[in-house]
Structure 1
Amino acid sequence: MNDSLKVQPRHLERGAYLYVRQSSMRQVIENVESTKRQYALRGRASALGWRDDQIIVIDSDQGESGASASWREGFQRLVTDVGMGRAGIVMGLEVSRLARNNADWHRLLEICALADTLILDEDGVYDPATFNDRLLLGLKGTMSEAELHVLKARLRGGILNKVRRGEYRCPLPTGLAYDDVGNVVLEPDAQIRDTIAYFFETFSRVGSACQTVKVFRKEGIRFPSRIRNQKTTIFQPLTLSTAIRALNNPRYAGAYVYGRRHYRRAADGKKLLRKREQGDWLACIPNAHPGYITWEQFQQNLKILEANGRGFDVARASPPREGSALLQGRAVCERCGRHLGARYVARRGRLEAWYVCGQAHTSRGEPSCQSIAGQPIDTAIGELIATEMTPAAVELALEIRKEIEARHEEADRLRLCAVERAQFEADLAQRRFMLVDPNNRLVADTLEREWNDKLHALAKAREERERERQKDRAAIDDAIRARLVAMTTDFRTLWRDPSLPNRERKRLLAYIVEDVTLVKLPAEGTTRIHVRFKGGKTETLTTQNPKSSAQQVKTDPKVVELVDTLLDNHIYPEIADILNDRGIRPGGSARSGQADARFTALRVAYLANEYGLRSRYDRLRARGLLTRQEAASSLGICESTLIRWVEHGLVARHAYNAHAYLYQAPGPNPPLKQSSRWNRLTDRAVAIRQTSQAKCPHPMTGDAV
């Protein structure tokens, strides 16, 4: 059918949409003829009857791929206008310009058919509402999509063929570069090489990416970073993400790798990334080019990173931390074989370490195997390490001294490289300023300002180097030298030094001990410790478990026995004074934080009652002592007279508390005071009492007493 016959007046009343697209900006810049051919379709629209003001050009998708419409705003606008009935015809040089995806293409055809919109390409005009035209357009769309896949397959096949030979050039990380013939070599810049080498050496020493970052920050060393799509390298503070990215990059191990990640497009057009396992990489050729570490070291670094990021899992030795648990990551449960976790509990203003086997409880809700107090275990292990290390302390001290000095020298050499780089840049800026025409002030002022900035940067680099050198000198001062000397004579003193960080103790322990197996024996009140050293030697220790809370507040049995003895001759206040004078403190006073607590009468009374001791009253009664009424009755006197007799020593009494007494029973001849006057007074008092009793009748019987 003639193209002009398909164009009806109803089509001419609406706009003519021209869609212009090329797949990449390189094509836009270099393939100008294709762009001209697409814009030339405006003439076709004018020839078919559309006015110039009705022709709408959509070219906002220049440089975008036609594989999907998700990220093409121009195509989405085109579909929207067609669906709203604004377009009478849609023009494109060919189907591939509009879409290379069948889903997008058929969606456009369906909307054009519903909206009665024509489609024009270089071959002619089509009406999607008719079967033949739609069949032809669908076939063209399928061929366009197939063409895209064929092109990709050809390009991908060529790339993979070069990848298998290790010849495909990929972007290299900072520290590696391509030479003139395309071979991978180490960065020619010595500062970059030395900094990266120092980075891997530091990680192998501290065993943690985070600690490596802290070392770089502490020593004032900056890490090189190459600006993307440029050959410029800048030095900036090392970050944790940069450290982990460098440790996971096999190119630093001299391996050629390709296909470590898989990219795909999501429904919304975003690029999704998925990491592949090492066995699924498209290419992995170890020792393909020079590297900073060996392939074996790279594999070991990956294992360390995996162990550091692992929580409850199989056996792991995590990097040493600041906590007091000496066996962190090395304690093994003898009952189930799992590694014990270190837990810290705040009690009485300080942290107590515990080794807990709680993985079964956390993951499956089962009871925990055991929970062991860490302080006795750590003390025993510390004594064992001190004993084992003392013979080798001299050699160890020398090695530590050499390592510290070598580390400081390496750090200072890297800082010196930074100073030299700043000096070179300052000299270069000076030469540029000297070569400029002084009359050209616009350029001269800019170059002079740049020269001043470089001089400031040079001065700052020198100041930083000098400041860090002073810190390094202070790091090995007289105090540390004295500690190193003490290490050669008594390693135990150094191990117990409170200023020695727990991290360093654990780091030293990691070089000596492989693991420590613990089992708690509640029946015996002990913990059995099996130590396995690196060389295969084993050692078994036994420690006493700390007392429970109830046991810590319980009074010593010897104190209870002493109180029982003192109750024979003393009352509670006197016993409290005797115990305090002897320096004995109540049970649990140290645990409760009251180290200066003292015994009181109430504490002694509670102690006697709690342990079922015979009271002093019962003890005195068992010895035959009488109450006041009983003693007065046996003597035939009133109680007031008894008290006066006690005051004058005629009757003996014994206190059974602070204000009550029991009286000693009188014998057949009660002892009287030898004063004749006292005898007369006593006889007279007895006679008067007897006379009064004889005259007074009994209140019940009326008889004289």
Structure 2
Amino acid sequence: MNTTHPKILEVHLKRLAVIYIRQSSPLQVENHLESKARQYQLTERAQSLGWPSTRCVVIDEDSGISGAQSFNRPGYQRLVSMVALREVGIVFGLEVSRLARNSLDWYQLLELAAAFDVLIADEDGLYDPAEFNDRLLLGLKGTISEVELYQIKARMVRGRLNKAQRGDLLWNLPVGLEYDVLSGQIQLDADQSVRHAVALVFRLFRQLGSVRGVLSYLAREGLDLPSQRLVRGVGRMITWQKPRYHVIYLMLTNPMYAGIYAYGRRQVQVDPLAHTRQIHRKGRADWEVFLPEHHVGYISQEEYEANVARLENNYQQFPANQGAVREGPALLQGLVWCKHCGRKMRVCYHDGQPYYTCDGAHRTFGTAICNRASAGRVDVLVEDLFLSLMNVTTLEQSMGAAHKLQKEAALVDRQWQEKLQRLSYQADLARRRYEAVDPANRLVAQTLETAWNERLVELEAAQHAYRQNRPTPDQVSSTQQEMEQVVTHLRDYWYQDGVSNQEKKDLLRCVIERVTLETHTSGKVIRAEIGWQGGAISTVEVPKYLFSAPHLFYRIAELARSLTDGQIAEALNAEGLETVKGRAWSARRVMDFRLSNGIPSGFTVNPQLRLTNTGYLTTAEAAARLEINQTTVQKWYKLGLLQGQHTGRQKALWIAWTAEVEQRLGGQASFDPQMISVKALCKLQGKTWEQLIRWCVEEGHHVYRFRRGTTFRFYVLPASCSLQP
């Protein structure tokens, strides 16, 4: 046995000697060369202990990777698998911390080494994990290594926090801000075009109110946004790129642009099982450092907080938010709520037509859809109410909008001028580089000539785009008389595509806080409650399934409150109104129109479409109240005791019902001594009951009905004339 150490046996020498090499970061790999050399020298120690060079394996794949975890260290995983396969006789490490700085990984390696008779060696000695004393010592070393890592991190975190609390902790600033080399303070970027581009983003969001709106505007105008990247050996480089959604969003939510020094805005959570990191944004109150007015910014702190609140309000998945205005035809998007369950109604489409739908419970629990209404029909009524509020008194606000339009055009033109100036400089720089090269060196000259041509092409394309997109003065100018004409004829512009859907939504949100929709009991009428800014409420009723002729709907709904279908038909014909197909109205056509559109009436047996305050009852309802059968009700109607009328194709009888009728025939009236029994009068006059009742009604006498025991008796209260025939 070619070894002097008593713990090394022949079985160990027949296996491999693994030298595990690791440094914690790429910076250490590059700069700490002595540590790396010492670790590679462990191969010589393995050979001195009896392992030939052919059985010495160096594992250095983990160079530059922290030992806090093992899932991201392929070299360590390879080492553990070799130990478990009995391929390893001894593991060499400069110190225990090279192998693992995590107790879970360290003790797992010790368990495997003890089970498969593997030795562990470092600079201090050689250990057998199967022996208690060696294992105890190795366990202490592993624990100390883990504690050491914790202390190092804790000191670094506390140091960073202490420095951040003074506002001195430096990191990569967002584009548009830079450090002053002399003073060490944060200042606006020296590049004027960068400053103007960043300021334009905040100005556009102040006007448009959504990230998508800013992105669409920049893309439509062909404007680029600055971006920065760090190049080693060069420093920060500014490049110009097409605007992107997340870039604009990060600019609007970064407090550095408001002159605020903030630290600890995010929290990192590590899943030990999935080995993933999740970054969560903390609330404003949970930030570790918040230093307002720390440096010069593009906006104020108040505007920054308003921007963040507006972005949160634009997030539609949160029920209380309105959401950002979009280009769809549903003008009340984000403002509509369900009266039945209180949920926010979303916009959905069926055959290209928008609908306001309350289907939160349906999507979550599979229940029926709570509420649904045609967006077009609701929007028409709300638009009409809104336009009725607009008049020339709003001219001052309109002129303010015109001035904003002129300023906006000037800002866009300035951005284009700076872009052309930047491209012109790049083309001139490429030209000077080409002219400075030796013409004989064609390899270099050809490359520089190609770069010069590319810059010239970019400049020419930008100049052409500028000429195409440049707003002319007459496009943004607006006089007082023109604005008066716009406001006066706003209704015409509104319906003649003079105003886009997004502009309509912005205008509606200025005056409307929310709209609550309720499906009427008929199921075919939607009642909309419009809550205006300031607290006023307006209520309108919308036909749910009306496809045409809304004027007929409202006229028939008005007449149906007191007239039968036949009487409504006569009134419509007298007014010269025709059906949708140009025909005269009949009772049947009125009934079909009314039932199709859910118009309630006092003369319908459908309880969902029945108006209860018209003063008429069906024979069944009258019979129930009088405690008689329907045949008797019809008999009393023929005798004149009850008044009513026949309606519909079936000539259904409707009984006129008043409080006097209910009191007189329902047995609730007070008895008058002048009343005479109908039975006695029949004997006195020699008439039947029916003949006597008909005679009393014709003569104007009042017939009363009183309960006597379990039955009812009829009495007659004489009128001014005598009861003698």
Aligned 1:62-211 pairs, distance under 5 A: 62-180=63-181, 181-211=183-213
Which residue identity is paired with 1:303? A
Distance 1:532 1:562 in 2: 36
- Contact in 2 for aligned 1:486/1:494 (Cα 8 Å): no
Deviation, 1:122, is 1.0
CA distance in 1, matches of 2:528, 2:57: 87
Q: Which residue of 1 is the match for residue 489 of structure 2?
A: 490
**Against the structure 1 CA distance between its residues 392 and 138, is the aligned structure 2 distance closer, same or farther, given a 3 Å change threshold?**
same
Out of 215, 226, 231, the residue aligned to residue 236 of structure 2 is 231
Question: Which of 246, 260, 263 is 1:241 aligned to?
Answer: 246
Contact 1:3–1:125 (Cα < 8 Å) also in 2: no
Q: Secondary structure at the match of 1:88?
A: strand
Judging changes above 3 Å, is the alpha-carbon distance between structure 1 residues 36 and 482 closer, same or farther for their aligned structure 2 residues?
same
Deviation of residue 422 (structure 1)?
0.8
Instruction: Check the 8 A contact 1:382/1:495 in 2, yes or no.
Output: no
Alignment of 1:224-623 (within 5 A): 224-228=226-230, 231-267=236-272, 269-311=275-317, 313-314=319-320, 316-330=321-335, 338=342, 341=345, 351=353, 378-469=379-470, 472-473=471-472, 476=475, 484=483, 486-515=485-514, 532-533=532-533, 536=534, 541=538, 543=540, 545-546=542-543, 557=566, 584=584, 587=589, 611=649
The answer to which structure, 1 or 2, has the higher relative contact order (CA under 8 A, 6+ apart) is 1
Name the SS of the counterpart of 1:67 in structure 2.
Answer: coil
Distance, in Å, in 2 between the alignment partners of 1:488 and 1:562 is 38
Cα 1:475–1:150, aligned 2, differ >3 Å: closer, same or farther? Answer: farther
The CA deviation at 1:526 is 9.7
1:112 aligned counterpart, secondary structure? helix
| Cα distance change of structure 1 residues 411 and 112 upon mapping to structure 2, 3 Å threshold | same
Deviation (angstroms), 1:63: 0.9
SS in 2 for 1:263: strand
- Whether contact under 8 Å (1:95, 1:144) holds in the other structure is yes
In structure 2, how many angstroms separate the alpha carbons of the residues matched to 1:369 and 1:269? Answer: 43
Matches of 1:443 and 1:367 in 2, distance apart? 73
CA gap of 1:483–1:498, structure 2 versus 1, over 3 A, is farther
Using the alignment, how far apart are the partners of 1:216 and 1:590 within structure 2? 51
Larger Rg belongs to: 1
What secondary structure sits across from 1:56 in the alignment? strand
- Counterpart in the other structure of 1:28: 29
> Given the superposition, is the C-alpha separation of residues 591 and 146 from structure 1 closer, same or farther in structure 2, using an over 3 Å criterion?
same
How much is the aligned-residue C-alpha RMSD, in angstroms? 4.2
Q: Does 3-12 or 414-423 show the bigger shift?
A: 3-12
Deviation at 1:161, TM superposition (A): 0.7
Q: The residue matched to 1:5 in structure 2 has which SS?
A: coil
Instruction: Tell me, in whole angstroms, the C-alpha distance in 2 between the residues paired with 1:149 and 1:409.
Output: 57
Q: For structure 1, list consecutive stretches of 5 or more residues without a partner in the other structure.
A: 566-577, 594-607, 615-705
Deviations 1:203-229 (CA, angstroms, capped at 9, x unpaired): 121211112211111111112221255
Question: Could you tell me whether the CA contact under 8 Å between 2:374 and 2:544 is conserved in 1?
Answer: no
- Any conservation in 2 of the 1:38–1:92 contact (CA below 8 Å)? yes
Give how far 1:273 is off. 2.6
Evaluate the alpha carbon distance shift between residue 293 and residue 582 of structure 1 in structure 2; reply closer, same or farther with a 3 A threshold. Answer: closer
User: CA 1:140 to 1:207, structure 2 compared with 1: closer, same or farther past 3 Å?
Assistant: same
1:260-297 Cα offsets, whole Å, 9 max, x none, are 22235433544343332222222122221122222222
SS at match of 2:12: helix
User: In 1, distance between residues paired with 2:477 and 2:113?
Assistant: 88
Give the secondary-structure state (helix, strand or coil) at the position aligned to 2:94. Answer: coil
Structure 2: unaligned runs, 5 residues or longer = 597-645, 653-725
Amino acid at match of 2:51: W
SS in 2 for 1:227: strand
Q: Deviations over 1:655-699 (max 9, x none)?
A: xxxxxxxxxxxxxxxxxxxxxxxxxxxxxxxxxxxxxxxxxxxxx
- What amino acid does structure 1 have at the position aligned with 2:584? I
Residue 474 to residue 518, structure 1, CA distance change in 2 (3 Å): farther
| CA distance in 2 between partners of 1:613 and 1:321 (Å) | 53
Report the alpha carbon displacement of residue 546 of structure 1 after superposing the two structures with TM: 3.5
Q: Which amino acid aligns with 2:19?
A: L
CA contact (8 A) 2:95 2:122 kept: yes
CA distance in 1, matches of 2:93, 2:538: 86
User: Judging changes above 3 Å, is the alpha-carbon distance between structure 1 residues 380 and 168 closer, same or farther for their aligned structure 2 residues?
Assistant: same
- Is this contact kept in 1: 2:209–2:310, CA < 8 A? yes
Which moved further from structure 2: 96-105 or 435-444? Answer: 435-444
| Cα distance between partner residues in 1 of 2:382 and 2:163 | 57
Residue 333 of structure 1: how far off its partner (Å): 6.7
Q: Distance in 1 between matches of 2:363 and 2:74?
A: 51
Asked if the contact 1:320/1:506 (under 8 Å) is kept, the reply is yes
CA contact (8 A) 1:386 1:492 kept: yes
The 2-side partners of 1:488 and 1:89 are apart by 90
Which letter does structure 2 place at the counterpart of 1:182?
G
Structure 1 CA distance, aligned partners of 2:276 and 2:581? 83
Q: Which residue of 2 aligns with 1:646?
A: none
Cα deviation per residue 1:334-354 (whole Å; 9 max; x = unaligned)? Answer: 788x476365675xx884766
Q: Give, in angstroms, the shift of residue 17 of structure 1.
A: 1.2
The letter for the 2-side match of 1:211 is G
TM-score, reference length from structure 2: 0.70
| Same amino acid, percent of matched pairs | 35
Tell me, what secondary structure is at the counterpart of 2:435?
Answer: helix
Q: Check 1:195–1:279 CA distance in 2 against 1; reply closer, same or farther (3 A cut).
A: same
SS at match of 1:476: helix
Q: SS of the residue aligned with 1:443?
A: helix
CA separation of 1:402 and 1:434: change in aligned 2, threshold 3 A: same
Distance 1:15 1:475, change over 3 A: farther
For 1:102 and 1:531, how far apart are their aligned partners in 2? 63
Q: Distance in 2 between matches of 1:105 and 1:119?
A: 12
Q: Report if aligned partners of 2:347, 2:355 keep a CA contact under 8 Å in 1.
A: yes
The residue identity in structure 2 corresponding to 1:122 is E
- Alignment partners' CA distance in 2, 1:250 and 1:232: 22
The change in CA–CA distance for 1:339 and 1:403 in structure 2 (over 3 A counts) is farther
Provide Cα deviations, 1:24-71, integer angstroms capped at 9, x if missing partner. 121122211111111122221222122122211111111111112211
